[in-house]
Amino acid sequence: MKKVLVATVKPFAPAAVEGIKKVIESAGYTFALLEKYAGQEELIKAVEDVDALIIRSDKADKDVIAAAKNLKIIVRAGAGYDNIDLEAASAKGIVAMNTPGQNSNAVAELALGMMVFLARGKFNGKPGTELRGKTLGIHAYGHVGRYVAEIAKGFGMKVFAFDPFIDDEVIAKDNVTPVDTVEKLYESCQYVSLHIPANQHTIKSIGVDLLARMPKNAVLVNTARKEVIDEEGLLKIMAERDDFKYISDIAPDCAGEFAEKYPDRHFFTPKKMGAQTAEANINAGIAAANQIVNFFEKGDTTFKVN
Ligand code: 3PG
């Protein structure tokens, strides 16, 4: 009997776990759960006899992959798969998938929520600012970027997007203004919201060159990955421009410096929580379980990323 392990340091909502279990057991497979585990050793031990693995931001590194003797498929219940060692997986013929779009609305709502929170001085009672009429640049127009655009338009923001992989017509159809260079996006927008993945092309790619182009009262919004920021460059901008603010879903490595020098010009979530809603957990978790069943039963490799 096939065994499917759900391994999540940051647990799914109970309803999502129930839903995943139901899909797995209805297919005649064994369901196993490892939550809030203390370290990689525990994960390495738990994967030894599993055929399939569902994870979130948990690290499926080369040691985990080497230890999993029967593993055929890893599904990252979410968008970013920078936590899977794809080379190690491919070398063992293990299929890696993500569940694109399933948790995107949750991330987008958090992006706008943090924008309002900071614009209102973190609800300190003093006069803040509004989002209506302000410019918002969406850096990468994927699933999350599209939801951000939709919600931001509801707020009355003027929305722009840069994405070299998406046709301008697709962006324009959503009443979003396509921008043909990344530099222009940063030059045109008071707010820039990041939706790029973390990979060899994007890590540390957001630095002084782009940030210095942003207009007065700039706000950088990061619900993507902290690794895409060149933190040295960001700190330089923060030091040079007292009108620049940074919001991030998960604190950067230099969070201490922000706390000490720029308390009013930043907000960082204490834990990555963009996708931490019951709805997102249910959507992504159950999609992951269905993808595993379809892979074993029908050889379906939709959403394979390696
Ligand atoms: C994603 O890539 O889908 C998000 O960053 C969510 O990550 P999480 O499942 O660890 O919350």
Give tens-digit pLDDT for 249-281.
999 999 999 999 999 999 999 999 999 999 999
> Considering only CA atoms, which of 221, 231, 171 is closest in space to residue 196?
221
21 — pLDDT class (breaks 50, 70, 90): very high
pLDDT of residue 99: 98
Protein residues whose CB sits closer than 6 Å to any atom of ligand 1: 10, 56-57, 78-80, 103, 272, 274-276
Which atom of ligand 1 sits closest to the CA of residue 273? 11
Average pLDDT, stretch 83-112?
98
CA pair distance 288, 102, nearest whole angstrom: 10
Taking CA atoms, 59 is separated from 34, 154, 177, 215, in Å, by 13, 37, 37, 38
Supply the residue whose CA is at minimum distance from atom 5 of ligand 1. 80
Site to probe by mutation for ligand 1, drawn from 81, 103, 283 as the one with most ligand atoms within 8 Å of Cβ, is 103
94 — pLDDT class (breaks 50, 70, 90): very high
By CB atoms closer than 10 A (0-12, 13-18, 19+), residue 89 is buried
pLDDT of residue 111: 98
Per residue in 40-72, pLDDT tens? 999 999 999 999 999 999 999 999 999 999 999
Per residue in 105-147, pLDDT tens? 999 999 999 999 999 999 999 999 999 999 999 999 999 999 9
Beta carbons within 10 angstroms of residue 253's beta carbon: 10
pLDDT of residue 304: 98
Ligand 1 center–CA 128 separation, angstroms: 30
pLDDT of residue 197: 97
pLDDT of residue 261: 98
pLDDT of residue 61: 98
pLDDT of residue 266: 98
Average pLDDT, stretch 170-176?
98
DSSP per residue over the chain, as a string? --EEEEEESSPPPHHHHHHHHHHHHHTTPEEEEEES-SSHHHHHHHTTT-SEEEESS--B-HHHHHH-TT--EEEESSS--TTB-HHHHHHTT-EEEE-TTTTHHHHHHHHHHHHHHHHTGGG-SS-----TT-EEEEES-SHHHHHHHHHHHHTT-EEEEE-TTS-HHHHHHTT-EE-SSHHHHHHH-SEEEE----STTTTT-BSHHHHTTS-TT-EEEE-S-GGGB-HHHHHHHHHH-TT-EEEESS--TTHHHHHHH-GGGEEE-SS--TT-SHHHHHHHHHHHHHHHHHHHHH---TTB--
Task: For the chain, list the domains and their CATH numbers.
Answer: 3-102+277-298 (3.40.50.720), 104-268 (3.40.50.720)
Q: What percent of the chain has pLDDT over 90?
A: 100
Which atom of ligand 1 sits closest to the CA of residue 78? 3
Q: What percent of the chain has pLDDT over 70?
A: 100
pLDDT of residue 72: 98
Ligand 1 center–CA 169 separation, angstroms: 29
pLDDT of residue 77: 98
Average pLDDT, stretch 147-164?
98
pLDDT of residue 19: 98
170 — pLDDT class (breaks 50, 70, 90): very high
Q: Which residues pair with 162 in a beta bridge?
A: 139
pLDDT of residue 87: 98
Q: What residues contact residue 90 under an 8 Å CB cut-off, 6+ apart? A: 96, 306
Largest CA distance in the chain: 62
Supply the residue whose CA is at minimum distance from atom 6 of ligand 1. 275
